[in-house]
Structure 1
Amino acid sequence: MKYTEGNTVKQQAIDEELLVNGTKGKKKVGDSGMEEDDECPGPTMIDFISQMPDDILVKILSLLPLKNAVITGILSKRWRFVWPYLKRLDFDGSDALDEMDEKLCVVEEAKYINQVNNVIRSHVSPTLQFFRIRFNLDKTYSKDIDDWIRYAFDKKVELLELNLFERHHKPRDTKDNYDLPLPLLEGSMVHLSEWPSSSSMVVETLSLKKLLLMRVNVSEPSLIGWLKNSPRLETLYLYGSGLMTKVNVGGRDINLKHFMLMGWAELQSISLCDFDLEKFMYIGREIEISLTNLSKLKELDIGQVSVGLNNKVFSMISCVASTLEILSLDIDRQKEDIPINVPGFPVLPNVKTLNLTLPTELDDTIIEYIEIGKKCRSLETFTISLHWCAPITKKKTCSNIFGHCFKHVKISGYRGIRSDVQIALYMIGNAENITIDPSCHPYDLIELSESEAMKREEAGRSHAKLKLSSRVFHPQVKLVVL
């Protein structure tokens, strides 16, 4: 049917209504602009979704971005009061930040604050499973952030994320970060104090299971307070915090299972002891780390900029060697040659997965690091991630490594340079299944353009297929080039 200029808007409104309420009993607009009977009605459209129970509709809306879920409130009266019962509130404003002009920053921040507050005022669910704030916000907005924290805990939130990251083109000094309030136990409630904007905050943290804080300042008393006053807290992730030079966590009243620390510029030492920690990750500069009496620790991820193969790191691993099942090390190359039998490196009897991130260069050889894999007596999966580093003046020579059979080996970041080829050929002779992945390491992607990364990846793939496939002589060795 053709629309005249005068009835196009009206017909469009009727069509939108039909999408929600079906076609039965509706009129259509004729060419004259008058309503007329539908003489040839089509199949009746029934809105099965709107007839579903509220709890089902809430689950459906929880799969949508929060903004889209809220918009469904304008569909009909039936939908108007569904989204306020969502148990997941995800205020992710990262997409807006990616395209934000610096001059519009203040306007966008104010807009984000209003959006969060408007949703909270209409939200009526008695509980929250998940509450996320993800936007560039500093301590200027402490009062609003405090209110959001209070609201989340009033709703007995289980997972709380405050990701107050700074814009990439204008890094923020840690002194300008929002300061996490200090929790103090008062009877059965927790009083959040110390910071002026939080002087009257009283909340209950008994429901909290997971806490993620990015670009949020955390003091040592505040950290301990949150751990001891949140008996169900199992996962804690802290990134880019200020106010703390040391982390000392211990005691049987700590229930933390997963603890991750990244990007702490002022941090000098970490000491963890006497609780049932299962996974620990630290990514940052080289510091003192002490792990004592952690009998449940199964996964360890250490990514220090200057780790290297030194006894300090290995002695730390020795304290938890008998329980580890997954070990990940981001290793910095050393200017001196690395000894074959690394002094002090422990035997790891239960490690099944070993992940090594290694720097390479044109004249460098890193095959000595395979010795770490040999210490893992139960090793099943061995992943080696290669990335480019600046050249050093002293060339390393390949040492004689005694044979050892690995089950599954993956080499990522393969480019076909001398060091890459050496480690690949060694694995072809000492592994059952080898996967070569030429994709660039994230470290390299920081410096490379998309086209350069694709060229490097294709060059590595072509080299692996041409040079490595012909070196597989044993029929039981399987080589896959991605």
Structure 2
Amino acid sequence: MSRLPDDILVVILSSLPLKEAGCTSVLSSSWKNLWKQTSRLNFNASSALDKIARDPKLRCEERRMYVRWVNSVLKSAPRKEALNLEHFRICFDVGKGFSGTITKWLKFAFKRRVERLELNLLEYGDNESEKQYVFPEDILFRKSIDIPHQTTTLYNFNSLKVLCFKNISINDEAIEFFLRNCTSLEQLVLQDINQLSNLEVRGPSLVLKSLYESFCVGLESIKVSAPNLTSLAVSITEGLVLENVPILVDLAITCQKRHMPLLVPALSCCFSQLEILTLRLPWGYKDHDIARFNFPELLELKKLVVDFTPERDASVLGLMTFMRISPNLEEFLLMIGYNGTLSCASREVNKGTPFPHQHLKVFQYLGYYGRCSDMEVVMFIVENCVGLQQIIIDPSMPLELLHTPLDPDELEREEVCRSYAKQQLEPIVPPHITLAIR
């Protein structure tokens, strides 16, 4: 391999995890500095985050070690600005106490004309605004003293294609600056962001294909006009304005019960073209509320995801209404959460109003507990979906924090639920349908 040209070796090293690439420096003198030219700086520290999840007392020490690691790599990186960065990723529980250091990391990435920038500063911990890093606008542009509203851009952002901010504070003006000045920006991710209030995603030269917004505290409105947008995820319904989204086919939205009347009007411009729809319906909905949405027919819809939290063991057969209005649906993922203590009601299993569905092939049930409400959904699917090929049952609940270890009691509960699923469903699922219990 040493006979290969250096530029080929650098490409190979760029495909390795950063720490492994750094270890190649001991192979020989000719390899000593090769890894420093890597175009992908992914500072992944999953093992350290797992340690913190198990023992929070390790957080401060692991944080210091992470900061030293990043600083060391950036210090040894070549100073040639001609070497563009393909990927720069920071992902650790680093907050306001390291603001100056984080800003230096960002300046390094901008100077190297980064193509994919990911800044996630709280992979594990509390999402509190006073602890968050505040993104400084003055690293993006300089305002003119003499001419009002005139600014000078400090870096060339034409290479930036993916921008991901999680768990930081950044305002509308800074995000809109990126949208105006990043002429190649295709994907924007904003999660757990403070200081956003009225976000406008629009512009005549916008090439944005994917926009993801989630849990941005204080966000009052999102206005989107993006002719190239194909995928959109938002966590608000009130204040959502969509226009000029002619090729939007993948939509995810959270709708609080008090905003039910706003959902259909907000999405009216894109119902006829949607192929994938994710609906998050938090605590507070009743089974009979679903029909009140008054959705139009979704003729192009191929995949539906519904995240629903019922009251105790209340029936969720009302969710099957979504299948009725989606005659060409092929995949249905139902995620059932719970609020408080899981409980099983002593009642008869309901069958619901039957209707044949011709095209559903895969049904997945996440959060199966073995209650009447769980069983009756699967029975309904089996009896009404004539083309069904596979049922996937998973008793696990989604974790709010990625690195949070599962409680032993939760693991035991999941195992019991798998036994329930096996006993309850194997007798009623026909042999031509594959039943997978995970």
- Range of TM-score over shorter length: 0.7 to 0.9
Cα deviation 1:99-151 (Å, max 9, x = unaligned): 35777755554543343233223222612100112223333433332322222
Q: Distance in 1 between matches of 2:375 and 2:400?
A: 19
Given the alignment of the two structures, is residue 160 of structure 1 paired with residue 117 of structure 2, yes or no? yes
Q: Distance in 2 between matches of 1:84 and 1:329?
A: 45
Given the alignment of the two structures, is residue 430 of structure 1 paired with residue 380 of structure 2, yes or no? no
Unmatched tracts of structure 1, length 5 or more? 1-48, 185-189
| Residue equivalent to 2:90 | 133
| Residue equivalent to 2:397 | 441
Q: Distance in 2 between matches of 1:162 and 1:358?
A: 30
Given the alignment of the two structures, is residue 468 of structure 1 paired with residue 418 of structure 2, yes or no? no
Cα deviation 1:386-440 (Å, max 9, x = unaligned): 22334799x9995742313233222222221110001010011012224132331
Cα deviation 1:148-197 (Å, max 9, x = unaligned): 222212222100111111752xx25324422324379xxxxx63679xxx
- Report the alpha carbon displacement of residue 245 of structure 1 after superposing the two structures with TM: 1.9
Q: Distance in 1 between matches of 2:436 and 2:66?
A: 48
Q: Which has the higher contact order (CA 8 A, sep 6+)?
A: 2
Given the alignment of the two structures, is residue 208 of structure 1 paired with residue 160 of structure 2, yes or no? yes
Pairing of 1:93-132 with structure 2 (within 5 A): 93-99=45-51, 108-124=62-78, 126-132=83-89
| Residue equivalent to 1:298 | 249
Given the alignment of the two structures, is residue 62 of structure 1 paired with residue 17 of structure 2, yes or no? no
| Residue equivalent to 2:102 | 145
| Residue equivalent to 2:281 | 331
Any conservation in 1 of the 2:237–2:263 contact (CA below 8 Å)?
no
Cα deviation 1:310-365 (Å, max 9, x = unaligned): 23223323221012110011223546551674353121111111111222455310
Cα deviation 1:24-74 (Å, max 9, x = unaligned): xxxxxxxxxxxxxxxxxxxxxxxxx33333234323323332123223212
| Residue equivalent to 1:352 | 302
2:367 to 407, 413, 419: 413
| Residue equivalent to 1:457 | 414
Q: Distance in 2 between matches of 1:201 and 1:139?
A: 25
SS of 1:51's equivalent? coil
**1:450/1:192 CA distance change after superposition, 3 Å:** farther
SS of 2:178's equivalent? helix
Structure number, greater radius of gyration: 1
Pairing of 1:167-206 with structure 2 (within 5 A): 167-168=124-125, 171=126, 173-182=128-137, 191=141, 202-206=154-158
2:337 partner amino acid: H
1:75 partner amino acid: L
SS of 2:427's equivalent? helix
Number of aligned residues? 419
SS of 1:322's equivalent? helix
**1:147/1:451 CA distance change after superposition, 3 Å:** closer
Q: Distance in 2 between matches of 1:297 and 1:129?
A: 27
For normalisation by structure 1, the TM-score amounts to 0.77
**1:458/1:177 CA distance change after superposition, 3 Å:** closer
Any conservation in 1 of the 2:22–2:35 contact (CA below 8 Å)?
yes
| Residue equivalent to 1:79 | 31
- Report the alpha carbon displacement of residue 301 of structure 1 after superposing the two structures with TM: 1.0
SS of 1:310's equivalent? helix
Any conservation in 1 of the 2:237–2:253 contact (CA below 8 Å)?
no
Higher mean C-alpha deviation, range 216-225 or range 262-271: 262-271
| Residue equivalent to 2:4 | 52
Given the alignment of the two structures, is residue 312 of structure 1 paired with residue 262 of structure 2, yes or no? yes
Higher mean C-alpha deviation, range 74-83 or range 321-330: 74-83
Q: Distance in 2 between matches of 1:477 and 1:166?
A: 39
| Residue equivalent to 1:388 | 338
1:180 partner amino acid: F
**1:89/1:336 CA distance change after superposition, 3 Å:** closer
1:164 partner amino acid: L
Any conservation in 2 of the 1:311–1:345 contact (CA below 8 Å)?
no
Any conservation in 2 of the 1:326–1:352 contact (CA below 8 Å)?
yes
2:393 partner amino acid: D
